[in-house]
Amino acid sequence: MTRRSRMRRHKNPHTALKVLAAALALSLSAALVLSGSGVALGLGVASTWLEGLPSIDDPTAFSVAQTTKIYSADGVLLANLYLENRQIVALDQISQDLLHAVVAVEDERFYYHNGVDIPGIVRALVTNTTTGRNEGASTLTMQYIRNTILAEERFEISYRRKVREAVLAMELERQHTKDEILGMYINTVYYGEGAYGAEAAALTFFNKHASELTIAEAALIAGLPQAPGKLSPYDNPDGAVARRQWVLSKMFEQGYITNEQYEAAKVEGLTLGRSATLDEQGVYSSPYFVAHVKKLLQDEYGTDLVFKGGLTVHTTLDTTLQTYAEEAVAGVLDQPGDPDCALVAIQPTTGYVKAMVGGRDWSTNKFNFATQAKRQPGSSFKVFTLVTALEEGMPPSRKIDSSSPATIPTGGRPWVVSNAEGGGGKGYITLQQATVGSVNTAFARLIAEIGADQVARTARRMGVETEVQPFLSITLGSQEVAPIEMASAFGTLAADGKHFPHTSITKIIDSSGATIFEYTPEGDQAISHSIAYAATSILKGVITGGTGRSANFGRPAAGKTGTTQDYRDAWFVGYTPQLSAAVWMGFTPERPMRNVHGRKVFGGTFAAPIWKAFMSRALANEPVLDFNAAPEPQYTWKKAWDIPSEAVPNVIGMSQAAAIETLAAAGFKDYVVTTTFSDTVPAGLVGAQSPDPGALADPTTTVVTIAMSQGPGTPPAPPPPSPPETTSTPSP
| Higher per-residue confidence, 18 vs 253 | 253
What is the reported pLDDT for 3?
38
Residue 617's pLDDT band (cuts 50, 70, 90): very high
| Higher per-residue confidence, 477 vs 28 | 477
What is the reported pLDDT for 396?
95
Q: Which helix (H) or strand (E) holds 141?
A: helix 140-147
What is the reported pLDDT for 4?
37
- Among 200, 259, 218, residue whose Cα is nearest residue 105: 218
pLDDT (mean) for 424-434: 84
> What is the layout of strands, in order, in the sheet containing 190-192?
85-86, 195-196, 190-192
Residue 639's pLDDT band (cuts 50, 70, 90): low
646-709 folds as: Trypsin Inhibitor V; Chain A (3.30.10)
CATH class of 353-618: alpha beta
> pLDDT tens, 700-723?
777 788 889 888 875 444 433 334
> pLDDT tens, 337-370?
999 999 999 999 999 999 999 999 888 888 999 9
Residue 187's pLDDT band (cuts 50, 70, 90): very high
What is the reported pLDDT for 59?
65
Taking a C-beta distance cutoff of 8 angstroms, is the pair 416, 608 a contact? no
Query: What's CA 249's distance to the chain center, in Å?
Result: 50
Mapped onto helix, strand or coil, the DSSP state of residue 561 is strand
Query: Quick count: other Cβ atoms within 10 Å of Cβ 302?
Result: 12
Q: At what angle do helices 215-223 and 259-266 cross, to 10 degrees?
A: 70
Taking a C-beta distance cutoff of 8 angstroms, is the pair 315, 71 a contact? yes
pLDDT at position 26 over 80: no
Gap between the Cα atoms of 670 and 683, Å rounded: 23
Residue 483 sits at φ, ψ, to 5 deg, of -55, -35
pLDDT at position 157 over 80: no
Beta 195-196 vs 85-86: how paired, if at all?
parallel
> pLDDT tens, 281-331?
444 569 999 999 999 999 999 988 998 899 999 999 999 999 999 999 999
pLDDT (mean) for 5-30: 43
The gap between the terminal CA atoms of the chain, to the nearest Å, is: 83
Q: Residue 315 pairs with which residues in a beta bridge?
A: 505
- DSSP label at residue 604: I
What is the reported pLDDT for 516?
97
What pTM, to 2 d.p., does this model score? 0.75
Listed in sequence order, the residues at least 6 apart from 515 whose beta carbon sits closer than 8 Å to its beta carbon are 507, 508, 509
- What are the structural domain ranges in the chain? 3-51+84-277, 353-618, 646-709
| Higher per-residue confidence, 696 vs 444 | 444
What is the reported pLDDT for 732?
30
What is the reported pLDDT for 40?
42
Helices and strands: H and E segment counts in the chain: 21, 24
What is the reported pLDDT for 100?
97
| Higher per-residue confidence, 101 vs 131 | 101
pLDDT (mean) for 252-257: 96
Mapped onto helix, strand or coil, the DSSP state of residue 552 is coil
> pLDDT tens, 463-487?
999 999 999 999 999 999 999 999 9
Lowest-confidence region among 114-128, 477-491, 650-664 = 114-128
Gap between the Cα atoms of 62 and 197, Å rounded: 14
Query: Quick count: other Cβ atoms within 10 Å of Cβ 451?
Result: 14
Gap between the Cα atoms of 701 and 690, Å rounded: 14
Query: Quick count: other Cβ atoms within 10 Å of Cβ 726?
Result: 23
Burial class (CB in 10 A: 0-12, 13-18, 19+), 141: buried
Gap between the Cα atoms of 90 and 95, Å rounded: 11
Radius of gyration for the alpha carbons in the chain, expressed in angstroms and rounded = 38
Question: Hey, CA dihedral for 650, 653, 654, 655, is it positive or negative?
Answer: positive
What is the reported pLDDT for 714?
56
Average pLDDT over the chain, rounded to whole? 85
Give ∠ CA 493-436-566 in degrees, rounded to 5.
100
> pLDDT tens, 557-603?
999 999 998 999 999 999 999 999 999 999 988 999 999 999 999 99
Name the percent of the chain lying above pLDDT 90. 62
Listed in sequence order, the residues at least 6 apart from 526 whose beta carbon sits closer than 8 Å to its beta carbon are 461, 462, 463, 492, 497, 498, 499
pLDDT (mean) for 617-640: 88
pLDDT at position 680 over 90: no
Residue 246 sits at φ, ψ, to 5 deg, of -65, -40
3-51+84-277 folds as: Penicillin binding protein transpeptidase fold (1.10.3810)
Mapped onto helix, strand or coil, the DSSP state of residue 464 is coil
- Largest alpha-carbon pair distance within the chain? 130
Residue 691's pLDDT band (cuts 50, 70, 90): confident
- Among 559, 548, 543, 542, residue whose Cα is nearest residue 603: 548
> pLDDT tens, 72-113?
999 999 998 888 888 899 999 999 999 999 999 999 999 999
What is the reported pLDDT for 102?
97
DSSP string, 654-684: S-HHHHHHHHHHTT---EEEEEE--SSS-TT
Q: Which helix (H) or strand (E) holds 586?
A: strand 580-586
Taking a C-beta distance cutoff of 8 angstroms, is the pair 209, 199 a contact? yes
Lowest-confidence region among 25-29, 243-247, 606-610 = 25-29
